[in-house]
């Protein structure tokens, strides 16, 4: 088998599995969505990183002593239809790296990352990746059973909060947070994210 050390060796129109992904040895960071390769955006900018750091700190402190755990990219999350049981690497065709995710079911964690849907995913949008996060990943997270999904728009200073409806199995927009509001996750109603502080100096 040919050793893959450069992204250019791969067919971006081809179909790949997580088993293939594990063999790649190039420096570029990619995500695999339904078998298709999506190169990640360049390194996040300063605004993105400040927001990520503040969110990570607030959530991690809140989760101290609780059963749930926070992870930040780079962290492989393998996704598939929520109605399917644990899949082998060659059967998995989607692996993403959310900016932040919270996993409460420790059985989903292994040395490679998270095998199955996290409970909460947060994506901090960068210029150029909005379409992928808003369209592809929205549907992907919904279909795989991610209960809560936040989209953060750093330049607009807005947070969109989605929650998975148990009956329709689709995301419902819970709220658009902006300004100096407190953003409160449905999964953790005792946690309040101060948006004024989150976006300050971002």
Task: Spell out the SS3 assignment of 118-186.
Answer: CCEEEEECCCCCHHHHHHHHHHHHHHHCCCEEEEEECCCCEEEEEEECCCCCCEEEEEEEECCCEECCC
39: exposed, middle or buried (Cβ count in 10 Å: 0-12, 13-18, 19+): exposed
Q: How many domains does the chain have?
A: 2
| Residues 35 and 53 placed together within one structural domain of the fold | no
Shared domain check, 178 and 131:
yes
Q: What mean pLDDT is reported for the chain?
A: 92
* Whether residue 51 sits in one domain with residue 25: no
Do 102 and 189 belong together in one domain?
Answer: yes
Least confident of 19-23, 43-47, 104-108, 168-172: 43-47
Q: What's the rounded Cα separation, in Å, for the pair 120 and 149? A: 6
Peptide bond before residue 72 is cis, with ω within 30 degrees of 0: no
> Is residue 187 scored above 90 in pLDDT?
yes
- Kindly state whether residue 111 falls inside one of the protein's structural domains: yes
Is the domain of 99 the same as that of 193? yes
- Give me the domain span that covers residue 144: 46-199
Which uninterrupted H or E stretch holds 55?
Answer: helix 46-63
64 occurs within a structural domain: yes
* Same domain, yes or no: 18 and 105: no
Looking at the fold, whether 73 and 159 belong to one and the same domain comes out as yes
Domain contains 138: yes
* Closest among 108, 168, 116 to 144, alpha carbons compared: 116
Q: Which of 24, 18, 37, 25 is nearest to 89 (CA)?
A: 18
Asked if 14 and 51 sit in the same domain, the reply is no
Q: Do residue 66 and residue 18 come from a single domain?
A: no
Residue 2 lies in a domain: no
The pLDDT-based confidence of 41 (bands split at 50, 70, 90) is: confident
Q: Distance (Å, rounded) from C-alpha 49 to C-alpha 164?
A: 27
Assigned token pair, 6: 């450069």
* Average of per-residue pLDDT across 91-117: 95
By percentage, how much of the chain surpasses pLDDT 90?
79
């Amino acid at each position: 088998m040919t050793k893959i050390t450069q992204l250019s060796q791969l067919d971006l129109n081809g179909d790949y599995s997580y088993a293939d992904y594990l063999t790649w040895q190039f420096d570029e960071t990619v995500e695999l969505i339904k078998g298709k390769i999506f190169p990640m955006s360049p390194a996040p900018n300063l605004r993105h990183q400040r927001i990520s750091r503040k969110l990570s700190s607030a959530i991690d402190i809140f989760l101290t002593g609780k059963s749930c755990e926070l992870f930040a990219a780079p962290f492989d999350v393998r996704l598939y239809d929520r109605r399917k049981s644990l899949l082998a690497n060659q059967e998995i065709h989607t692996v993403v790296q959310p900016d932040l995710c919270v996993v409460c079911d420790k059985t989903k964690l292994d040395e490679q990352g998270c095998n199955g849907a996290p409970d909460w995913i947060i994506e901090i949008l960068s210029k150029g990746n909005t379409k992928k996060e808003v369209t592809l990943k929205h549907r992907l997270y919904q279909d795989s059973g991610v209960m809560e999904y936040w989209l953060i728009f750093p330049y607009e200073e807005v947070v969109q909060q989605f929650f998975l409806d148990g009956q329709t199995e689709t995301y419902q927009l819970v709220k658009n947070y902006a300004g100096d509001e407190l953003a409160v996750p449905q999964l953790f109603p005792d946690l309040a994210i101060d948006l004024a502080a989150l976006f300050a100096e971002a």
